[in-house]
A and B are shown apart, each in its own frame.
Chain A
Amino acid sequence: MSPAFLVLLALGLGLAAWVAARARAWSFRRSQPGVRLASLPSYHGWYVALWVVLPVLLFAATWSVIAPQLVAQSVLASPAAAELPAFGMQRQTMLAEARAVAIGAAPAVFNPDAQGLVQPYRDAIGRFTAIGIAATLIIAFAGGAWAFLHLRPDFRARNRVERIIMGVLLLASLVAILTTLGIFGSLVFETVRFFSMVNPADFLFGTRWGPDPMSPADSPDGSRYGALPLFWGTIYIGAIIAMLVAIPLGLMSAIYLTQYAGPRWRRWLKPALEILAGVPTVVYGYFAALTVAPAIRDIAVSIGIENASSESALAAGLVMGVMIIPFVSSMADDSIAAVPRAMRDGSLAIGATNNETIRKVLVPAALPGIVAGVMLAVSRAIGETMIVVMAAGAAANLSANPLEAMTTVTFQIVAMLTGEGSFDHPATLSAFALGFVLFMVTLALNFIALRVVKRFREAYE
């Protein structure tokens, strides 16, 4: 039974409740012509409908999480399950296979031993589907009846409905906090598990990165989990090479757009620049790997650098820099525009040229905003994944040579989690530790940058 079916059922019942309750409210009006309803009939309808739909949705959400577990439990309690291997991969595979056949996702079981489990699965799913639907109907009717019996001409249905709406609005805005807590909680939980296996000092200060997902999970070799080369690669690509491209180009673009370009040019150039920001990162990654990286290798070879690799920090960093240009440009644009016009006019009035005004007055005045923008750009660059996955390489090098392959935090997160590693292995868990570091760093950068921008805006207002 799919949750979608329960949701549709809830909505159908809700519609029925709405119609019934509204008709009831109209009947008040007809039977007692002198009495005015405290709320419009449709609010009576909404009141009862919400009392039907909300409990059912709540139930559907809970049920869709616990029902599969109940099914699995009852299958494991069946006699056929006694012959399963006690634990491990094979047990999981057989269960999954039998389940797939039972719900009709697969035509037949691959492993004949799993055949015996299909029938118990089918029975259990059927039983719990029936229970689920029955419970849904009971809840819907109980909620509906309770609300329906409340309807009276002087019942303030609108106030009740609006109170529920306010609750829903509050819940919707709490989703953001829940997401933040969810991210923080899951990262911290897995990171703590990782640090119970690998010494945090080894992780943060070690210089050799080479987790082996095939090694025994219970005695990891701490010296293989040194993340320093990853941090260096991330900073080198995202905060150095990319910024060497993005800061001058982005700043100059913003200056030209705000100070020199006429309105007509501006109308065309600005959206064109914004298209750069809209290109998906996977396209940039492919561009870096297919075009830029080979070109850089060819240039390196032609100027006499032997063994230049086809994956290089330079290729990834350059393309990432281009991707970040519109971001830096729009942040710089905003902060230059926030500088009071009087400062600019004053400088021009004492005879400075445009370029002197910009370099000596506007940019220094806008500097806090520009710096904040650059911090946001850095936080975006170090969290960028696809470009480095496709162009930067997997080798963890602690080197300053931009032509060497280098790996980053995001690359290793992808590499550690897309294999078939088990969730209890430190190699898999290390991805969460890396994610935690990345999250905290970007959080800090964003937090500081947003504060700076706020302070800066207030200073000129």
Chain B
Amino acid sequence: MSEHVNLTRTAAFEKRLKRRYAAERIFRRAGLAAILFSIAVLLFLLVTMTANGIGGFKRVTLSVPIDFTEVGLALPQGMEGQGMAIRSLESQGLEEVVSFYAGQAMGEDAAAQLSADAWRVAADHIVEDPSILRRRVELDLPASEDLSAAYAGDGQAALQPLARRLAEQGFLSDSFDPGFLSRSDATDSQAVGIWGALKGSILTMLVTLALAFPIGVLAALYLEEYAPRNRWTDLIEVSINNLAAVPSIIFGLLGLAVFLGAFPYLRSAPIIGGMTLALMTMPVIVISGRNAIKAVPPSIRDGALAIGASPVQVVFHHVLPLALPGILTGTIIGMARALGETAPLLMIGMRAFVATPPDGFTAPATVLPVQIFLWSDEIDRGFVERTSAAIIVLLLFLLVMNGLAIYLRNRFEKTW
């Protein structure tokens, strides 16, 4: 008997098989590498923003000892409003007082490096607690942009020794700056805050939600439940699908030509921004709403119809409440996209320099992403940190919204 020979597993075959398995491993690793690369870029982006942004939440301050008993400043009695009190302190020479004491304690060169807004901060302290006018206090006043940069170790070389000296003497330090979350835009990176932009964003989002949500839900209900299959319905569906894919900047052109054409006085106003973004968000809500409505089983409708509900009652009493969690999830995702949107709002003038928070839907405003864009154009090192800090705030908002959407989906989604 001859020995058993395996005719297929020849040496060439084994070699080929090895090569094929190797190719398989390489392919599999390439797939994993592709995903890991994307995630690594995401992490790198987040780490860069965080590393840059931490500094943006801080402010470099000079602690200036001021003996108000020697000065004789007085807060006007019975005057209403902070603005009046601050103006009165300004006319009494608070600015000179501050720079005099700063010069006395730290030297003239240091006094020159107080921020131009320093006396305003001092005035805020006085208005908050007038009793400090009768004693000696140490106030933490913001340093100038240049000195802040020198403190961080870059900027003008000439200022670095001064910064080092002041830091050693304990005058110069940086601390968490809660004002960053409560101030508005300014020209000095040490004096900026994001509250103005954040409030603009909130007002704009309210308008967007108030318009896009009802229109989107009603349109989804109509298309899914009542629309006859005809050419008009097809046209509506095609336009919704296309609108969902139209570049956002085109909506900005529409807002500029139509909305600002109709309301020229409302340039930069949250209501126009909200209307523009609502048109952009509406298709997203319609599409996700239709999917949610489609997921409600027909037996619910049949049951309701069988006990005598009218078609409108079937939808509004039974289908809509059951589909609502799904619709809300889609709405939140659409709103999150609108919150991060910049380009269309640039078109309708929401890039103006707005130094006070908007006090209504028709007041000039800017929004957080546009504020980020505006600050990113500034060259000053301080603005790099502030920009990254603003990005962190924006990303946190988006995280909360998306988290809410995921929670809603997991909590309320039913599989029938």
Chain B residues with CB under 8 Å of A385's CB are: 247-249, 342-343
Contact string against A for B residues 48-74, beta-carbon threshold 8 Å, 1 for contact and 0 otherwise: 110010000000000000000000000
Instruction: Assess whether A356 is interfacial by the CB under 8 Å rule.
Output: yes
Contact A280-B214, Cβ < 8 Å, known A176-B236, A256-B31, A438-B250: no
CA distance A284 to B246 in the complex (A): 20
Contact A173-B236, Cβ < 8 Å, known A253-B31, A282-B369, A353-B21: yes
CA distance A105 to B391 in the complex (A): 31
Chain A residues with CB under 8 Å of B398's CB are: 278-280
Chain B residues with CB under 8 Å of A170's CB are: 222
Instruction: Write the nearest CB–CB distance from B161 to chain A, whole angstroms.
Output: 29
**Which residues of B240-273 are within 8 A (CB) of A?**
240-243, 245-251, 253-254, 256-258, 262-263, 265
Instruction: Assess whether A252 is interfacial by the CB under 8 Å rule.
Output: yes
Chain A residues with CB under 8 Å of B236's CB are: 173-174, 176-177
Instruction: Assess whether A407 is interfacial by the CB under 8 Å rule.
Output: no
Q: Is the CB of A355 within 8 A of B27?
A: yes
Residue from A281, A356, A443 within 8 A of B20 (CB atoms): A356
Instruction: Assess whether B112 is interfacial by the CB under 8 Å rule.
Output: no
Residue from A176, A256, A284, A431 within 8 A of B239 (CB atoms): A176
Residue from B48, B245, B316, B373 within 8 A of A380 (CB atoms): B245
Query: How many residues of chain B are within 8 Å of chain A by beta carbon?
Result: 87
**Which residues of B197-240 are within 8 A (CB) of A?**
214-216, 218-219, 221-223, 226-227, 235-236, 239-240
Contact string against A for B residues 158-187, beta-carbon threshold 8 Å, 1 for contact and 0 otherwise: 000000000000000000000000000000
Instruction: Assess whether B384 is interfacial by the CB under 8 Å rule.
Output: yes
Instruction: Assess whether B396 is interfacial by the CB under 8 Å rule.
Output: no
Instruction: Assess whether B323 is interfacial by the CB under 8 Å rule.
Output: no
Q: With CB as the reference atom, state the residue of chain B lying closest to A445.
A: B245
Q: Is the CB of B246 within 8 A of A322?
A: no
CA distance A418 to B219 in the complex (A): 34
Q: Is the CB of A450 within 8 A of B265?
A: no
Instruction: Write the nearest CB–CB distance from A185 to chain B, whole angstroms.
Output: 8
Instruction: Assess whether A290 is interfacial by the CB under 8 Å rule.
Output: yes
Instruction: Write the nearest CB–CB distance from B35 to chain A, whole angstroms.
Output: 5
Instruction: Assess whether B407 is interfacial by the CB under 8 Å rule.
Output: no
Instruction: Assess whether B41 is interfacial by the CB under 8 Å rule.
Output: yes
Q: Is the CB of B254 within 8 A of A257?
A: no
CA distance A431 to B159 in the complex (A): 46
Instruction: Assess whether B108 is interfacial by the CB under 8 Å rule.
Output: no
Instruction: Write the nearest CB–CB distance from A194 to chain B, whole angstroms.
Output: 13
Instruction: Write the nearest CB–CB distance from B25 to chain A, whole angstroms.
Output: 9
Q: Is the CB of A410 within 8 A of B247?
A: yes
Q: Is the CB of B24 within 8 A of A355?
A: yes
Instruction: Assess whether B84 is interfacial by the CB under 8 Å rule.
Output: no
Instruction: Assess whether A325 is interfacial by the CB under 8 Å rule.
Output: yes
Chain A residues with CB under 8 Å of B21's CB are: 353
Chain A residues with CB under 8 Å of B24's CB are: 353-356
Instruction: Assess whether A291 is interfacial by the CB under 8 Å rule.
Output: yes
Q: Is the CB of B38 within 8 A of A325?
A: yes
Chain B residues with CB under 8 Å of A432's CB are: 253, 257
Instruction: Write the nearest CB–CB distance from A9 to chain B, whole angstroms.
Output: 17
**Which residues of B303-339 are within 8 A (CB) of A?**
310-312, 316, 336-337, 339
Instruction: Assess whether A447 is interfacial by the CB under 8 Å rule.
Output: yes
Contact A169-B34, Cβ < 8 Å, known A186-B254, A376-B245: no
**A to B CB contacts below 8 Å, 16 in the list:** A65-B263, A172-B214, A172-B219, A183-B253, A253-B31, A281-B341, A283-B391, A290-B384, A354-B24, A385-B247, A386-B373, A435-B249, A435-B250, A446-B242, A446-B245, A450-B241
Chain B interface (Cβ < 8 Å from any Cβ of A): 20-21, 23-24, 27-28, 30-35, 37-39, 41-42, 45, 48-49, 52, 214-216, 218-219, 221-223, 226-227, 235-236, 239-243, 245-251, 253-254, 256-258, 262-263, 265, 279, 282-283, 286, 310-312, 316, 336-337, 339-343, 346-347, 351, 361-363, 369-370, 372-373, 376, 384, 387-388, 391, 394-395, 398, 402
Chain A interface (Cβ < 8 Å from any Cβ of B): 2, 4, 65, 68, 96, 99, 105, 158, 162, 165-166, 168-170, 172-177, 179-180, 182-183, 186-187, 189-190, 248-253, 255-257, 259-260, 269, 272-273, 275-276, 278-287, 289-291, 322, 325-326, 353-356, 358-359, 376, 379-380, 382-386, 389-390, 410, 413-414, 417-418, 431-432, 435, 438-439, 442-443, 446-447, 450
